[in-house]
Structure 1
Amino acid sequence: MTAPVFGMTFTRPDSEPVPALGADFSKALIIETSADANAATYPIGTAVRISTSDATKMADLGTGLLADAAKAIHAQLGGLNAGADLTVIRVTEEATVAATVAGIAAALDPLLIAQIASQTGATPRLIWVGRTSWMLDAETPNPIWAALPIAAEKLLAVAVVDVDPTGQAAAITQREVFSSERILPIGVAARVYEGENLVTRAMGPRIIGLMIRVDNLHEGKPFNPFANRSILGLSGLSRLIPFSLLDGSTEGQQMLESEVSIVVQGETGVDGAVADGGFVFIGTDNTTTGELWKQIHQVRGADYLTVKMMEITRQFLGKRISADLTEAWINSIKFMLRDHKVDEDILGFEVNFRADKNSPESIRLGHLTVNLGIEPVPAFKVANHEVARYRPALDDLVGKIIARLTTTVE
């Protein structure tokens, strides 16, 4: 603009740190069939965003497996007017399960997944799809297995995967197909009532609902583990998995060692039981190789911070590189991480601008590099108690005896 000869001007400098609101990581994507759903509300193959507190939209889902998944998620939520933000994709129930599974896998195509946010105005960070435990035969892999980790990576999401619920060996065999920090296998199914009928349904959506419930308890942030919490709305389990907090040889402990999460029933008066009653989810680990990013809530927390850094950085892109702008960019990231440390979302962080990573040649090209380190908060998984004798208590006893005898003699 032209500066006035007599007057005033107003400018906004680029040297101030900028805030980032962060994203809601509790939005979920579910994909399944429901033959009697309202076709106008849920066209086949179309991503539709709903709230589970919308009774009309929920009724329009019909009675199929897609409807069960949405109801299962909603059942885990608490509080007045609590609902889940769901993106629903209805696929066709084909003449064979193999054809239906192929349709679900096709809905996970990376090009289609990338369009969900622009179609619905929401990016889902939690994924559940049906039929993941199905196999045509022992030699033929389920096509969903290859498609799901790629879709989760595209969305910076995590997926709960139902593996074979019929037995330990079968569940672990299917778990071995995956090697992703974004996959959480669950090795047992739910028994629930549909009207007067007791039916077996996937446990995965119920775990998704639990994750949303825990997020809601912590301002919507995804940094918290969700193990050792009740699964609501169950009438039973597809099978009871032997489990003890004290005995690592039980079937449940062996499944957890193989990174297959479980739901177990509480037992009153039993040492080592996870609860006195109800049904409790136990699980923290994904299927990645190595231990550094093994706990899935830490992956979700790191994704959340990544999205916030994206929000911060895009406000600086395209502007002239200067010392003031670079300092403001780095300070914005530091202040954001500082706030998360104060809230105990992370244990600590470090942000550095290193000369060896920012050569004059790189800066000439408009490239700046910042080096970040964060330490996520781990889940409390094992409590070790070292119980020893306490000799000073005997010294104290001797002192008390002597004191009483002295008093009696006097």
Structure 2
Amino acid sequence: MTELVVGVQHIRDEVEALPTSSAELSAVGAVGTAPNASAMAFPLNVPVYMISSNETMRALLGTVGTLPDAIRGVAGQLTNGLSAARMVIVRVAEGANAQETIANILGSEALGTGIWALLDAPNDLSVTPRLILTPGYTSQFHWRGVVSVPVTSGGTGYTVAPTLAFSGGGGGTGASAHAVVSGGAVTEIVIDNPGEGYTTVPTITPTGGGTGLVLGAPVVGSVANPIVAGINAVLERLDAHFFPDGPVGNRERWLAYRETIQSDRINHPMFVDVVVTDSAGNYVTRPASPRVVGAYVATDQEHGGRPFHSPSNRPIYDIVGVSPPVPFSYRDPNTLGQEILGANGGIIVKGETGVEASVADGGFVFWGTDNCGENDNWRMTNVVRGRDYIELTQLNTLKYFLGRYRILTAVVFAVIDTMRKHLQWLKDNEDILDFRTGIEPSKNPVEQLRLGNLAIMFRAEEAPVLKKLTIYSRRMPSALDTLIANVATQLGNAA
């Protein structure tokens, strides 16, 4: 290597804290149907990037199916100077019935179809969708359906599968199944449709194909929505959150639906639909989830894209009603709305003028703060999304140090200072309450350091949503003593 002989040479070799590069958590991912869409602009099972205000793209998507309303619902919440949401659209084929469409939305991991197509967006589109919805196809589930049918004895001589007829079950309907035959015997009963409403165990009568088949008592229970049950792996890989619409209008049915969900990335299933007007001025019912996601986008954008704030107690625009209306009071814990919120659900409630305990004086207001996970320390959606933001921002920034530097004192301090400056900025903006960063010697043994593994600790506390104020109201007897003392003093002065 040739050395400089005469001149001035500068070598920048100091190790400094880096400015942080913030993560984006407000891009929307919508998977659904649009049968009349341009196949060139929106090919099936391919993520397509668009902004919600792009009139050309919206026209190419058409007006039929769930995706056009999803975009409308998100865009309708962008007020106060907010113009558009970044969106990733995945169009799937509309099936002959809801079950087929749900299967298309659920898609295949191996083929990258349906919800799995969202995983291609970061590489293909340079945008990561982290607010996910599949409107219109998350409320379907089987309440008190037939979950399974055991085979007690497979019988003999079955050259073809017997037909299976369901009867009884206390008013339940819709269950169907077929038998699997191997070696002349029935080996398995496959549930084709669990049906619904079986308050007692139904009877199954096999006919034809062979003899000796004995079936055990069918197992009755709730069967989860396939999309809600299957989306968590996608959410984990994207660090995303899902906003489902639950079954509306029936308390017991919604509670049974809620019991089928456990994930801190699935958030406050909605108990209501919304009523909007279509292009002809007709009143039509549509899913609430796009409006809720739009409220999240708007709230994030109002705070610089930082997702530490909840859109609860925020008006929902571009709707003319909710279906069904939900009784709610800020003072009565026995209202249906309070019960749904207590079970981690979401509601939209109409305001009432002149009613102090109503949600508002007018308009339609969203309430929903919780996810459907099990850990109360991470119960609030804004807290989990806020921690996602911190960790993804650290990943985006600190990866610069990897491989470029060795584990030296200056490098360790540069990494910690990078983290500290970002956390201090979040604290100064009241996104977090406080934080700590540092090194724990017990987590950095010599053998790990020699392998290039450095462990750094940070702690932070996101601010919880204010959900309840408890105000203690008491009488003040000392005021009466003061009254008498003042009267006595004035009487004395008058004398």
Instruction: Please tell me the residue identity of whatever aligns with 2:409.
Output: A
In the other structure, the counterpart of 2:23 is 23
Instruction: Please tell me the residue identity of whatever aligns with 1:134.
Output: Q
In the other structure, the counterpart of 2:392 is 307
- Once the 2 structures are TM-superposed, how far is the Cα of residue 402 of structure 1 from its aligned partner? 3.4
Instruction: Please tell me the residue identity of whatever aligns with 2:470.
Output: N
Note the alpha carbon deviations across 1:242-282, whole angstroms, 9 max, x for none: 11111111111111111111111111222421111111111
- Once the 2 structures are TM-superposed, how far is the Cα of residue 140 of structure 1 from its aligned partner? 4.4
Note the alpha carbon deviations across 1:332-366, whole angstroms, 9 max, x for none: 11111111111110011111211111111111100
Secondary structure of the 2:365 match is strand
- Once the 2 structures are TM-superposed, how far is the Cα of residue 304 of structure 1 from its aligned partner? 0.3
In the other structure, the counterpart of 1:119 is 124
> 1:14 touches 1:328 (CA, 8 Å); kept in 2?
no
**CA 1:36–1:364: 2 relative to 1, 3 Å:** same
**CA 1:240–1:142: 2 relative to 1, 3 Å:** same
| Aligned partner (choices 148, 151, 165) of residue 231 of structure 2 | 148
| Aligned partner (choices 345, 364, 370) of residue 456 of structure 2 | 370
For structure 2, the residue ranges without an aligned partner over 5 or more in a row are 142-192, 197-221
Secondary structure of the 1:243 match is coil
Instruction: Please tell me the residue identity of whatever aligns with 1:170.
Output: R
Instruction: Please tell me the residue identity of whatever aligns with 1:84.
Output: A
Query: Mean Cα displacement is larger for which, 38-47 or 370-379?
Result: 38-47
In the other structure, the counterpart of 1:179 is 262
- Once the 2 structures are TM-superposed, how far is the Cα of residue 107 of structure 1 from its aligned partner? 6.4
In the other structure, the counterpart of 1:41 is 41
Secondary structure of the 1:9 match is coil
- Once the 2 structures are TM-superposed, how far is the Cα of residue 81 of structure 1 from its aligned partner? 6.0
Higher share in helix: 1
Secondary structure of the 1:401 match is helix
> 1:149 touches 1:182 (CA, 8 Å); kept in 2?
yes
- Once the 2 structures are TM-superposed, how far is the Cα of residue 10 of structure 1 from its aligned partner? 1.9
In the other structure, the counterpart of 1:87 is 88
Looking at structure 2, the residues matched to 62 and 269 of structure 1 have their Cα atoms a distance apart, in angstroms, of 43
Looking at structure 2, the residues matched to 240 and 50 of structure 1 have their Cα atoms a distance apart, in angstroms, of 34
The alignment's C-alpha RMSD in Å is 1.7
Secondary structure of the 2:277 match is strand
> 2:133 touches 2:289 (CA, 8 Å); kept in 1?
yes
Looking at structure 1, the residues matched to 2 and 419 of structure 2 have their Cα atoms a distance apart, in angstroms, of 35
Looking at structure 2, the residues matched to 27 and 383 of structure 1 have their Cα atoms a distance apart, in angstroms, of 33
- Once the 2 structures are TM-superposed, how far is the Cα of residue 14 of structure 1 from its aligned partner? 4.5
Instruction: Please tell me the residue identity of whatever aligns with 2:259.
Output: E
Secondary structure of the 2:228 match is helix
Looking at structure 1, the residues matched to 19 and 2 of structure 2 have their Cα atoms a distance apart, in angstroms, of 31
Note the alpha carbon deviations across 1:376-395, whole angstroms, 9 max, x for none: 10000110010111233223
TM-score by length of 2: 0.79
TM-score by length of 1: 0.95
In the other structure, the counterpart of 1:190 is 274
Note the alpha carbon deviations across 1:257-314, whole angstroms, 9 max, x for none: 1111111111122242111111111110100102100000001100000111102220
| Aligned partner (choices 413, 417, 421) of residue 335 of structure 1 | 421
> 1:172 touches 1:260 (CA, 8 Å); kept in 2?
no
Looking at structure 1, the residues matched to 8 and 42 of structure 2 have their Cα atoms a distance apart, in angstroms, of 57
For structure 1, the residue ranges without an aligned partner over 5 or more in a row are none
Instruction: Please tell me the residue identity of whatever aligns with 1:222.
Output: P
Instruction: Please tell me the residue identity of whatever aligns with 1:116.
Output: A
Query: Mean Cα displacement is larger for which, 51-60 or 297-306?
Result: 51-60
In the other structure, the counterpart of 1:270 is 355
Looking at structure 2, the residues matched to 67 and 396 of structure 1 have their Cα atoms a distance apart, in angstroms, of 68
- Once the 2 structures are TM-superposed, how far is the Cα of residue 403 of structure 1 from its aligned partner? 4.2
**CA 1:167–1:149: 2 relative to 1, 3 Å:** same
- Once the 2 structures are TM-superposed, how far is the Cα of residue 2 of structure 1 from its aligned partner? 4.4
Instruction: Please tell me the residue identity of whatever aligns with 1:314.
Output: K
Pairing of 1:1-400 with structure 2 (within 5 A) = 2-63=2-63, 64-80=65-81, 82-106=83-107, 112-130=117-135, 131-135=137-141, 137-138=195-196, 140-184=223-267, 185-194=269-278, 195-318=280-403, 319-400=405-486
Instruction: Please tell me the residue identity of whatever aligns with 1:17.
Output: A
Looking at structure 2, the residues matched to 112 and 301 of structure 1 have their Cα atoms a distance apart, in angstroms, of 25
> 1:30 touches 1:86 (CA, 8 Å); kept in 2?
yes
- Once the 2 structures are TM-superposed, how far is the Cα of residue 407 of structure 1 from its aligned partner? 4.5
- Once the 2 structures are TM-superposed, how far is the Cα of residue 77 of structure 1 from its aligned partner? 0.5
Looking at structure 2, the residues matched to 14 and 281 of structure 1 have their Cα atoms a distance apart, in angstroms, of 51
Secondary structure of the 1:93 match is coil
> 2:50 touches 2:57 (CA, 8 Å); kept in 1?
yes
Looking at structure 2, the residues matched to 395 and 30 of structure 1 have their Cα atoms a distance apart, in angstroms, of 67
Which runs of structure 1 show a deviation greater than 6 angstroms over 4 or more consecutive aligned residues? none
Query: Mean Cα displacement is larger for which, 143-152 or 231-240?
Result: 143-152
**CA 1:223–1:281: 2 relative to 1, 3 Å:** same
Structure label with greater radius of gyration: 2
Secondary structure of the 2:105 match is helix
**CA 1:124–1:13: 2 relative to 1, 3 Å:** same
Note the alpha carbon deviations across 1:140-175, whole angstroms, 9 max, x for none: 433212222221111111111111013121112112
Instruction: Please tell me the residue identity of whatever aligns with 2:76.
Output: A
Between the aligned residues of both structures, percent identity stands at 33
